[in-house]
Structure 1
């Protein structure tokens, strides 16, 4: 069965973006094996704001070949857009209600795992509904002091079991957890 993977960058002080939505603090090192992660998934879950910003993003013509290849790999995945806003999109399947039921059905389909891309509201919903199978949290060596926290307004305690730790040249530490059931 497919797993829902939350793969996310966070600051030392627990923010997933700065006070104005900035993510310029995120580090992308070649030793992070982003290509390997992308090869392990075939589906991406987006919230509307993240989809509007990144779901169709195309790097400009001056972007490196590596960045062009990265975005080509991302856009080759099946996309699901979770949004209550009525809209049409030929590149994504839109889910407006019954999130847990749709996610359960998608997980039963064959294939690779699912990347819960975000944004913050969708991640919060998935946490509250216990729909995340693996938390891949990459802690970046910066503190912002304010911004959008990852674990905002938890409705219940979230007990996680550490599965693996990866340390990268940049000082980013990736912590991989599974929920304790």
Structure 2
């Protein structure tokens, strides 16, 4: 069965973006093997705002071949957008109700794993519903002091078990957890 993987960057002080939505602090080193992660998934879950911002993003014409290839790989995945807005889109399936049931159906379809891309509201909903199987949190060597926190207003504790740690040349430390049973 597919797994839902939350893979995202967070600052040392726990923010997923700055006060003005900035993510310019994110580092993507070649030793992070992001291409390997993309090869391990065939589906991406977006919130509506994240999808509108990044779901069809195209790099500038002068972007490096590596960046163009990365976005081509991202856009080759099946896309599901969780939103209260009903919308037709030929590049994504919109889901506006019964989140837990729909996620269970998608997980049973077989194939590769699912990237829970976000945003913050969708991550919060998935946390509250217990729908995240794997947490791949890349802690970046910067403290912002303010911004949008990763874990905000949790209704209950989320017990996790560390399964792997990766350290990269940039100083980013990736912590990979699964739900503790």
Trace 1:1-181 onto structure 2 (pairs within 5 A). 1-181=1-181
What are the superposed Cα offsets for residues 109-153 of structure 1, whole Å, 9 maximum, x if unpaired? 110000000000000000000000000000000000000000000
Output the TM-score relative to the length of structure 1: 0.99
- Cα offset, 1:85, TM superposition: 1.1
- Cα offset, 1:78, TM superposition: 0.3
CA distance in 2, matches of 1:37, 1:162: 18
Structure 2 SS opposite 1:88: coil
Give ranges in structure 1 of 5+ residues lacking alignment.
none
CA distance in 2, matches of 1:172, 1:18: 17
Structure 2 SS opposite 1:171: coil
Matched positions, count: 181
Write out the 4+ residue segments of structure 1 that deviate beyond 6 Å after TM superposition. none
CA distance in 2, matches of 1:66, 1:76: 15
CA distance in 1, matches of 2:87, 2:42: 23
CA RMSD in angstroms, aligned pairs only = 0.4
- Cα offset, 1:90, TM superposition: 0.6
Output the TM-score relative to the length of structure 2: 0.99
Structure 2 SS opposite 1:70: helix
